[in-house]
Amino acid sequence: MKKTFLLMTAALLFSGAFVFAQADADAYESEIDAAASEEKDSKFEIKFGASVDIAVIPFQLILNNDTDPSFFGGPEKEAMIIGAGAGRNASGQSIRARIEARASYNDMIGLRARIQARPDIVGIEDYLQAWWKPFPWMRLDIGRFFDDRLRGEINDQDERMHAYTVRMYDADGIFTRFRTHWNGQAGIMFSFSLPVHENFWFGAMLYDLMPFTSSNLPGNQYDSNPDLVIRNEDAYHRIQAAIAYKIPKVGLIRVQYFGAKPHVGINIITDEIIDDAQTTLASYAIPIFSITAPRIEAAFALSEIPGLLINIGGKVPLPFKNWEEERTNIFDKVDESLLDPIYAAYRSGLVWQAPYHVALGLRFSPVKLSSLEIACRADAKFGGSVKGHTTEVYFAPEVNFHFWPSWEFSFARLILNFGYEYIGRTFDNNDRTVGEGTPAAMTGGHRIGIGISLQKNIISNCYIKAGIAYKFAGTVNGTQEKAVLTIPLYAEYSF
């Protein structure tokens, strides 16, 4: 009996690789179940999946509205460039293949792995995960994975075929997903729903854990090479904990704490304007800050009205004062005399407030007119600042809006796209624009893009999407941005 079972399992494993289909993550799954002969109630389940997609821009026209030389006596710039584009969402033109496998026993313990192949790399993608359910209502996950049950749902990443330079926040802008590997490699998650009330759910994760070593040296050599040990002593900062409650016949409400070690990234924009006689006409150095802070998030999804989904969320970053730059060697102490002057000036004594973030997503399809779908997404960031005894800087507010109605014709789906991004100015406590009087003054600006695309289902589990889009020229923080005409192409096939 055991021999027969092993032969059946091997045959199923071999054949399963050819019969499972997956669309973007978990759809179009074919299951293979094998029952253990010794335990009739036991269930051993195996799932396989594969897909391939490609994103390219075979044609792009860039109109240059700044043809002046970059420096005195330098060559003029081209007024127009025609060629292939940078790719969807500026991620590069690429083809990608995925293979995924899952295995579980009795819905009590399981494994999941996904391999991704691209022209530049082959390796584990987002899943290398093991899980265990000690009770039906409790689960422990460890490894590399996502958990999207609470994540925001409405964004234009799949539909938006036009202005990838017109920023749009993804679904995490509404409510951040559970993810183990934002910057690290793995994590551990504990979750449960109350046995007496299944509509309540709690989850907590420790994310961005790194391997203890970054080298293949034998373990006994690390004592004499502490610089090879990767820092994990600050892992307690990276705790994410969420509570959610599904309101019957209404929707889902959720709240979470997203932990992070406070940090400020400082990028200095600097330049000198020199004439032909090598005389300095002007020089400037403008600091640009990128703030990482723990935050509180809350969101609500209205999902029980037929044809309508409204998802709204907000993020409140917590202010902080002192922060540390990352150290290579975990045993190094901070030597004040050796600190970079810019880092030393900003690392303490100031109160940092990352911008607040509010997001709204809406998708509506009339019940009696299902061919029509109207969707939009709006995000606003505001209230960011850094304050000290004599220093106050208020960061630029931002507003992002995208609107994409669509209609399902008999031959294809037609999608219209509009994107708008507004960036305000950055100013100090005297209402003076940061960098005023320089070419890089933080005056803000806007970006606008429009587009139209068609999505055609070729065969089952296969579709192609193509369109044409135009991103208007503009000026953002003193930088002239080009007008871009794009013909994007995207295709996906699951088998």
**pLDDT by residue (tens digit) across 206-235?**
998 876 554 555 555 555 555 555 666 778
pLDDT over 80 at 53, yes or no:
yes
Residue 293's pLDDT is what? 96
Instruction: Give the distance from CA 346 to its chain's centroid.
Output: 28
Residue 256's pLDDT is what? 98
Instruction: Give the best-scoring range by mean pLDDT among 32-41, 284-293, 300-309, 456-465.
Output: 300-309
Which long-range contacts (C-beta less than 8 Å, at least 24 apart) are formed by 229-235?
229/330, 230/330, 231/326, 231/327, 231/330, 233/330, 234/261, 235/206, 235/208, 235/209
pLDDT over 50 at 361, yes or no:
yes
Residue 24's pLDDT is what? 38
Do the beta carbons of residue 111 and residue 127 sit within 8 Å?
no
Instruction: Give the best-scoring range by mean pLDDT among 7-11, 185-189, 202-206, 457-461.
Output: 202-206
Do the beta carbons of residue 256 and residue 147 sit within 8 Å?
no
**pLDDT by residue (tens digit) across 337-351?**
667 787 888 888 899
Confidence of residue 366 (pLDDT cuts 50, 70, 90): very high
Q: What stretch of H or E contains 462?
A: strand 462-471
Arithmetic mean of pLDDT, 399-405: 93
* Number of other CB atoms surrounding residue 290 within 10 Å: 10
Residue 139's pLDDT is what? 96
Residue 89's pLDDT is what? 44
What are the tokens at 259? 């932990």
pLDDT over 70 at 490, yes or no:
yes
Residue 228's pLDDT is what? 57
- Cα-based distances in Å from 480 to 67, 68, 447, 474, 484: 11, 12, 11, 6, 13
Q: What stretch of H or E contains 345?
A: helix 341-346
The sign one gets for the Cα dihedral 19, 23, 27, 28 is negative
What are the tokens at 132? 């265990």
Q: Which of 115-129, 321-335, 416-430 has the lowest mean pLDDT?
A: 321-335
Q: What percent of the chain has pLDDT over 70?
A: 76
Arithmetic mean of pLDDT, 413-435: 92
pLDDT over 60 at 162, yes or no:
no
Residue of 331, 312, 441, 443 lying closest to 378 (CA atoms)? 312
Q: Mean pLDDT in the chain?
A: 81
As a whole number of angstroms, the distance between CA 167 and CA 401 comes to 9
DSSP code per residue over 139-154: EEEEEE-EE-TTS---
**Reported CATH class of domain 2-215+235-328+338-494:** mainly beta
* DSSP code at position 4: H
As a whole number of angstroms, the distance between CA 397 and CA 422 comes to 8
Arithmetic mean of pLDDT, 113-120: 88
- Cα-based distances in Å from 257 to 91, 153, 322: 30, 19, 20
**pLDDT by residue (tens digit) across 128-158?**
999 999 999 999 999 999 999 999 988 766 5
**pLDDT by residue (tens digit) across 252-302?**
999 999 999 999 988 888 876 666 666 666 677 888 899 999 999 999 999
End-to-end CA gap in the chain: 33
Residue 485's pLDDT is what? 87
What are the tokens at 389? 């005894």
More confident residue, 1 or 339: 339
Residue 99's pLDDT is what? 94
pLDDT over 70 at 391, yes or no:
yes
Instruction: Give the best-scoring range by mean pLDDT among 307-316, 432-441, 478-487.
Output: 307-316
Arithmetic mean of pLDDT, 411-433: 93
Going by their DSSP bridges, the two strands 372-382 and 138-144 should be labelled as unpaired
